[in-house]
């Protein structure tokens, strides 16, 4: 009898404990899952504008071996100009892959094709970046990106990929962060249209895939270009990093009038809130980079899956005219900073 009573009390005690846990822990977890930064309106003013025939004066040309093991020779400015791989006029700036060197050329492209990687001379610690992107590069073997990084301090100062795709770019635009340990988007509340790929931004997980967000098919490549591109905006502040894409016919008036106000733009394409990632400590001193890599870790790695012919390096070496769509065309880059 005494034992029976003790047992009953034990059961009652366990049930009460479970109820207490549910009552306390569930709301805490729900609150955590509902945490969201206060993206209150900031007053932005124009700090830098890269545009017109001096567009490329704002950049250093990267030369030397490709850090991403691509099948590419990044050329210095003089060579890029003489090969017309970079070209800027009053209204437009073009950065392209060489389409002239074939198997019979001297030298040929058997060790990689000529391309360009430019890195802004200025570094940034936050801001609102408005990129006018008229044409995105695509085609088998290509790995183009428009991104921000501190090349001398990766991954310590973070990496922000604003536009990225590989091969035929049929998967749409990928927007991704890469960081050191302690930055995750998994399980946190986000307000965005794009679909989340991986949660962890830490470069040591998922083979450095980063925490990516995928846009719709026509956010990069053939469909994007056919619609004359548009504006890609990236806001980087302590509360989080957000990116938007606006088609050419849907650019908000406040962007056109150079008074951009993201608080009026509606849901972002990608939202990387600071809930489980200290943005201020993970992202610093970043240059704006535009490049077109060929093959390498990413485009080479998924080359066959992308439905591309032969193998990546053979195709790139021997088919110069296959790269006629492998060019970026930009209008202006505007960088705003909060007052």
Ligand X SMILES: *[C@@H]1O[C@H](CO)[C@@H](O)[C@H](O)[C@H]1NC(C)=O
Which residues would be at the binding site for ligand X (CB under 6 A)? Answer: 38, 40, 84, 87, 94, 123, 150-153, 155, 180, 203-204, 207-208, 285, 287, 310-311, 314
Name the nearest CA neighbour of 82 among 67, 61, 102: 61
Spatial distance between the Cα atoms of 85 and 317, rounded to a whole number of angstroms: 17
Q: Which is nearer to ligand X, 198 or 310 (CB)?
A: 310
Q: Which is nearer to ligand X, 149 or 163 (CB)?
A: 149
CB of 251 to ligand X, least distance (A): 23
- Asked if residue 290 lies in contact with residue 164, where contact means CB atoms within 8 angstroms, the answer is no
Q: Which is nearer to ligand X, 153 or 195 (CB)?
A: 153
CB of 182 to ligand X, least distance (A): 12
Q: Which helix (H) or strand (E) holds 335?
A: strand 327-338
Spatial distance between the Cα atoms of 156 and 198, rounded to a whole number of angstroms: 20
Name the nearest CA neighbour of 166 among 317, 301, 316: 301
Place of tokens 């056919």: 226
CB of 256 to ligand X, least distance (A): 24
CB of 329 to ligand X, least distance (A): 8
Spatial distance between the Cα atoms of 79 and 211, rounded to a whole number of angstroms: 36
Name the nearest CA neighbour of 129 among 56, 227, 44, 218: 44
Q: Which is nearer to ligand X, 217 or 285 (CB)?
A: 285
**Angle at the Cα of 199 from the Cα atoms of 197 and 203, rounded to 5 degrees:** 100
CB of 145 to ligand X, least distance (A): 16
Q: Which are the contacts of 97, defined by CB distance < 8 A and separation ≥ 6?
A: 85, 113, 114, 115, 137, 142, 292, 294, 323, 326, 327
CB of 310 to ligand X, least distance (A): 5
Q: Which is nearer to ligand X, 7 or 309 (CB)?
A: 309
Q: Which is nearer to ligand X, 204 or 266 (CB)?
A: 204
Catalytic residues: 159, 164
- Asked if residue 235 lies in contact with residue 242, where contact means CB atoms within 8 angstroms, the answer is yes
| Cα distances (angstroms) measured from residue 127 to each of 68, 143, 174, 193, 239 | 27, 26, 20, 22, 12
């Amino acid at each position: 009898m005494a034992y029976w009573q003790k047992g009953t009390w034990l059961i009652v005690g366990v049930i009460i404990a479970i109820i207490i846990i549910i009552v306390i822990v569930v709301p805490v977890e729900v609150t955590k899952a509902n945490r969201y930064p206060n993206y209150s309106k900031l007053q932005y003013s124009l700090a830098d504008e890269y545009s017109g025939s001096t567009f490329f004066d704002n950049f250093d040309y990267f030369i030397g071996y490709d850090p991403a093991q691509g099948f590419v020779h990044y050329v210095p400015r003089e060579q890029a100009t003489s090969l017309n791989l970079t070209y800027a006029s009053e209204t437009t700036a073009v950065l392209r892959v060489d389409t002239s060197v074939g198997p019979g050329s001297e030298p040929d492209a058997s060790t990689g094709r000529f391309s360009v990687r430019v890195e802004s001379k200025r570094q940034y610690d936050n801001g609102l970046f408005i990129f006018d992107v008229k044409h995105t590069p695509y085609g088998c073997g290509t790995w183009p990106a428009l991104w921000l990084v501190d090349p001398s301090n990766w991954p310590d100062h973070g990496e922000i990929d604003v536009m990225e795709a590989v091969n035929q770019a049929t998967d749409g635009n990928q927007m991704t962060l890469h960081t050191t340990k302690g930055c995750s988007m998994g399980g946190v509340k986000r307000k965005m249209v794009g679909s989340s790929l991986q949660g962890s931004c830490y470069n040591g997980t998922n083979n450095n895939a980063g925490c990516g967000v995928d846009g719709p098919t026509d956010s990069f490549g053939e469909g994007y270009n056919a619609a004359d591109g548009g504006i890609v905006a990236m806001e980087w502040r302590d509360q989080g990093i957000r990116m938007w894409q606006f088609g050419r016919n849907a650019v908000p008036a406040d962007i056109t009038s150079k008074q951009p106000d993201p608080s009026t733009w509606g849901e972002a394409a990608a939202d990387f809130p600071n809930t489980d990632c200290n943005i201020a400590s993970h992202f610093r001193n970043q240059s704006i980079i535009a490049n077109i890599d060929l093959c390498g870790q990413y485009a080479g790695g998924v080359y066959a899956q992308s439905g591309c012919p032969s193998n990546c390096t053979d195709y790139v070496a021997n088919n110069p005219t296959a790269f006629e769509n492998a060019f970026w065309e930009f209008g202006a880059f505007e960088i705003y900073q909060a007052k």
